Structure 1
Amino acid sequence: MRILVISPYPPQRDGIANYAAQAVADLMRQGHDVVVVSPQPSAAHLHIDFMAGPRAWAALARRARGFDKIVIQWHPAFFYRSSSVVDRSSIDLAMAGVFRLVPEVEVWVHEYEYAEVLRSPSRRRAARAAFSRATLVFHSERERDAFLEAVPVDIGRTRVEQHGRSFRRRTAMSREEARASLGIAPDEFVFLCIGFIQRHKGFDRAVRAFAALDAPRARLDVVGSTRLDEPEFLAHLAELELLTDQTQGARLHTGYVSDELFDRWILASDTVVLPYREIWSSGVLERAALFDRRVIATRVGGLEQQAGGRDVVFVDDDAALLAEMAAAAQVSLRLGDVGTDITDDIGWADLQATVSARAALVRGSAARALRAVEGPGRAQGATPVDRTAGMVRRLPPYVVPPATSTRPGAPVVKRLVQRLTGWLILPLASRVDQLQAATANSLDVVAAEIQRLREETPAASGGRSTPSAGGPGATTPG
């Protein structure tokens, strides 16, 4: 069978590109003749810029004739150039025209804009015209049901497939060899967060939970890189760097991760942690299953259905994540045992320190919170420097406004202006975001140093020692 695959493709740094490469390899092992078209320049056979809108689908129509089947790895970001309902509807209708030219069409839906389609009857009709001609493949029933609510097509044209059905192991190392190559001691318990570093992946949640564990022989490795060098991604990376620097036993490994190295990290780990804030399905979950690694994951998207009966523990919030990580490593908590009455045998000052620390853990200040409860009389509360760092960090990163407008022709003009000025504006915007992150991180370091000096100087909490008639060491109230 001659199959035309439309998808991002390596060496593009994208999870779907990696997924598509494995799916293509599986199709070729089955003896199919496969040609790949990618939205960006890549190792694919052909490249079509789908940001050209309906014209791109016209170009695809000229290439689609003669194929027995089209397979699309679908994500809206690869095929729509704006959020305009009119523009997206026109692309859906152009797509429907291409689907008529081929005997069989299969769309693997990795993400879809449910809410947008539900709000617009015209968009819903256009989407139905396109997708009713295809077989739709999902990774969970929850994803399928949400799609069918937005785009009412025949459920008989849908199916649910295991996310990792085409996945193969990519390292031949043993567990001991993998650990040795990564500098991991044989007796260390390893938590692993791996993948593209973005806020919705929630790796910071795992670091904060790990900071609350009393686990001297455990470590948490965060491995990956930002998918794009966009200000929002870089700002989150800077926050994660600071958080891991402040957390004993946590390590951040940034940079390109090859397929073999990715699998080596999973093989070397004891528990893979997926603390996602939002996700549809997870390739990491599937790769962990290849090596029989235990997984702790948040209950979001279709992960629970994707996991099936495998060794995955699901949690609903940060407190449950902390408890499950403690149970996995068989360690206790630095903040006291969960479920006990914290008022038993504890003084008022220590009680205040413990409550403040737990609240700070939820807010995201675990490293400083832990220092507040390591000994009596150390809870100082938020300093002005702490508050200043928080105010700087809460400033949102600069994001280029979308080139959309209700006025005819305005989106085209806006896109043209962005292309003409982007080479100058975008680096400046990125530098401003980096300066913001660096300022906040510097203030955090200053705050930590102030706290350390307070702890090392007993006079800071009482008075200051001065020579007096009382003799050496006499104290005068400050």
Structure 2
Amino acid sequence: MRYLMVSTYPPKKCGIGKYAYQMVQNIKKDGELVDIISLNKAEDGLYMDLKGGRKLLGLSKYINNCDKTIIQYHESFYHDSSKNLISNILTYLSFYYLFIRYGRKIEVIAHEISYDKKGFYKFLECLKWGLCPNILFHTQKEIDTFISHYFKLQDGKYHLIDHSKYFIKYTNLSKSECRNKFGLPSDKIIFLCIGFIQEHKGFDVAANCFKKLENNNLLLYIVGSVRIKEEPYLRYWYKLKNIVESSNNVKLVDSFVSDKEFDEWINASDIILIPYKEIWSSSVLARAKLYNKPVICRNVGGLEEQLNSNDITFNTDNELMLILTEFEKSILNKII
């Protein structure tokens, strides 16, 4: 088979792009051919700007040459909210045309769908997803949310796909080797928050909780960088930095790490902490499971479906504080 992958793509700092890259590598490993349409200037594939107006129609000649087209979907990749009504309508009409013309040759992987549409725009959005031949979600919660906002699609139109199905392990180093690489203490229990630093991730909540702990054998490392250098994002970074600087057991590693280093940080830790305030599903959580790491996460979106019996969920900041306090007590009891 010949595939067409439509997505952001490395070196762009984008989790969806990394997801698409790993998916491409797995498809190629099975001996299939993959053409890449990148929404940014990338190392591989053909660059196309598909955002706004009729630009999506430019995919037609490439879809014609392939057996299956995979569209990694985030609304901001294809819809331009800054454009006028006519331009926005043309974007919707372009989706309609592709979905009707090529049918089940197209598969959409839903990373983020907007549910804030009202009136005429909600009608256009409903029609778009009604015509979409195949939609893949990472959790049942996402499917349920989709149905509650739009409608129940015909059987066989939407599917579940394991978030980590196409993931690649980027390191074979042991936990101790990973700690040595980053100069981490071998005798401490290390919690990890990792990823782009932005407010909805809730890293400040985790930092404030650890700041209140008295046991310095428990350390929180926050590893990541600001993806968008704009005022709201930078303001949050400074807020987080101030919390860290006033804490004895929270460390901030301000760095955009490579895929290999990302996995090494996960493997170096004892527990992955995911205090996100909103999310659909989590690549960080999925990668944690590649290395059999226990997870503590807020019960938002479909994250609970990605967990196993070794993991813990919380709903409020106070619940997270209670979990960490109990953890601290259990460690003290073992020492005593």
Corresponding residue of 1:312: 311
SS in 2 for 1:40: coil
Shift of the 36–156 alpha-carbon distance from structure 1 to 2, 3 Å rule, reads same
SS in 2 for 1:197: coil
Cα deviation, residue 40, structure 1: 1.6
Q: Does structure 2 retain, via aligned residues, the 8 Å contact 1:96–1:131?
A: no
Cα deviation, residue 182, structure 1: 1.3
Matched, 1:210 2:213: no
SS in 2 for 1:214: coil
Shift of the 85–324 alpha-carbon distance from structure 1 to 2, 3 Å rule, reads farther
Q: Distance in 1 between matches of 2:121 and 2:182?
A: 54
Q: Distance in 2 between matches of 1:130 and 1:318?
A: 36
Matched, 1:107 2:108: yes
Q: Does structure 2 retain, via aligned residues, the 8 Å contact 1:114–1:146?
A: no
Shift of the 92–306 alpha-carbon distance from structure 1 to 2, 3 Å rule, reads farther
Q: Does structure 2 retain, via aligned residues, the 8 Å contact 1:132–1:154?
A: no
Corresponding residue of 2:250: 250
Q: Distance in 1 between matches of 2:251 and 2:129?
A: 46
Equivalence map 1:272-291=2 (5 Å): 272-291=272-291
What letter matches 1:45 in structure 2? G
SS in 1 for 2:112: coil
Cα deviation, residue 62, structure 1: 2.8
Shift of the 294–236 alpha-carbon distance from structure 1 to 2, 3 Å rule, reads same
Q: Distance in 2 between matches of 1:328 and 1:26?
A: 39
Cα deviation, residue 155, structure 1: 4.1
Q: Distance in 2 between matches of 1:115 and 1:67?
A: 34
Cα deviation, residue 124, structure 1: 2.6
Equivalence map 1:87-166=2 (5 Å): 87-102=87-102, 103-116=104-117, 119-121=118-120, 123-125=122-124, 127-129=126-128, 131-152=130-151, 153-166=153-166
Q: Distance in 1 between matches of 2:38 and 2:95?
A: 15
Q: Distance in 1 between matches of 2:92 and 2:114?
A: 13
Corresponding residue of 2:182: 182
What letter matches 1:6 in structure 2? V
Task: Tell me which of the two structures has the higher relative contact order, counting C-alpha pairs closer than 8 angstroms and 6 or more residues apart.
Answer: 2
Q: Does structure 1 retain, via aligned residues, the 8 Å contact 2:72–2:109?
A: yes
Q: Distance in 1 between matches of 2:87 and 2:148?
A: 22
TM-score of the superposed pair, with normalisation by structure 2 = 0.92
Q: Distance in 1 between matches of 2:219 and 2:271?
A: 11
Q: Distance in 1 between matches of 2:219 and 2:253?
A: 13
Q: Does structure 1 retain, via aligned residues, the 8 Å contact 2:211–2:248?
A: yes
Equivalence map 1:14-25=2 (5 Å): 14-25=14-25
For the aligned residue pairs, the C-alpha RMSD in angstroms reads: 2.0
Q: Does structure 1 retain, via aligned residues, the 8 Å contact 2:53–2:89?
A: no
Equivalence map 1:378-417=2 (5 Å): none
Offset from partner CA, 1:309-367 (integer Å, 9 cap, x none): 3522100111111122233454689xxxxxxxxxxxxxxxxxxxxxxxxxxxxxxxxxx
Corresponding residue of 1:56: 55
Corresponding residue of 2:29: 29
Q: Distance in 2 between matches of 1:86 and 1:323?
A: 52
Q: Distance in 1 between matches of 2:145 and 2:129?
A: 17
Q: Percent identity?
A: 33
Q: Distance in 2 between matches of 1:330 and 1:112?
A: 42
Shift of the 207–148 alpha-carbon distance from structure 1 to 2, 3 Å rule, reads same
What letter matches 1:55 in structure 2? R
Shift of the 175–12 alpha-carbon distance from structure 1 to 2, 3 Å rule, reads same
Shift of the 288–129 alpha-carbon distance from structure 1 to 2, 3 Å rule, reads closer
SS in 2 for 1:322: helix
Offset from partner CA, 1:448-478 (integer Å, 9 cap, x none): xxxxxxxxxxxxxxxxxxxxxxxxxxxxxxx
SS in 2 for 1:137: strand
What letter matches 1:66 in structure 2? N
What letter matches 1:63 in structure 2? Y
Shift of the 209–122 alpha-carbon distance from structure 1 to 2, 3 Å rule, reads closer
Cα deviation, residue 197, structure 1: 0.5
Shift of the 265–126 alpha-carbon distance from structure 1 to 2, 3 Å rule, reads closer
Cα deviation, residue 133, structure 1: 3.4
Cα deviation, residue 55, structure 1: 2.6
Cα deviation, residue 138, structure 1: 0.5
Corresponding residue of 2:38: 38
Corresponding residue of 1:195: 195
What letter matches 1:43 in structure 2? E
Q: Distance in 2 between matches of 1:149 and 1:30?
A: 37
Shift of the 54–312 alpha-carbon distance from structure 1 to 2, 3 Å rule, reads same
Runs of 4+ in 1 over 6 A off after TM superposition: none
Cα deviation, residue 167, structure 1: 1.2
Q: Does structure 1 retain, via aligned residues, the 8 Å contact 2:54–2:90?
A: no
SS in 2 for 1:163: coil
Q: Distance in 2 between matches of 1:38 and 1:127?
A: 27
Q: Distance in 1 between matches of 2:85 and 2:305?
A: 32
SS in 2 for 1:54: coil
Q: Distance in 2 between matches of 1:235 and 1:7?
A: 30
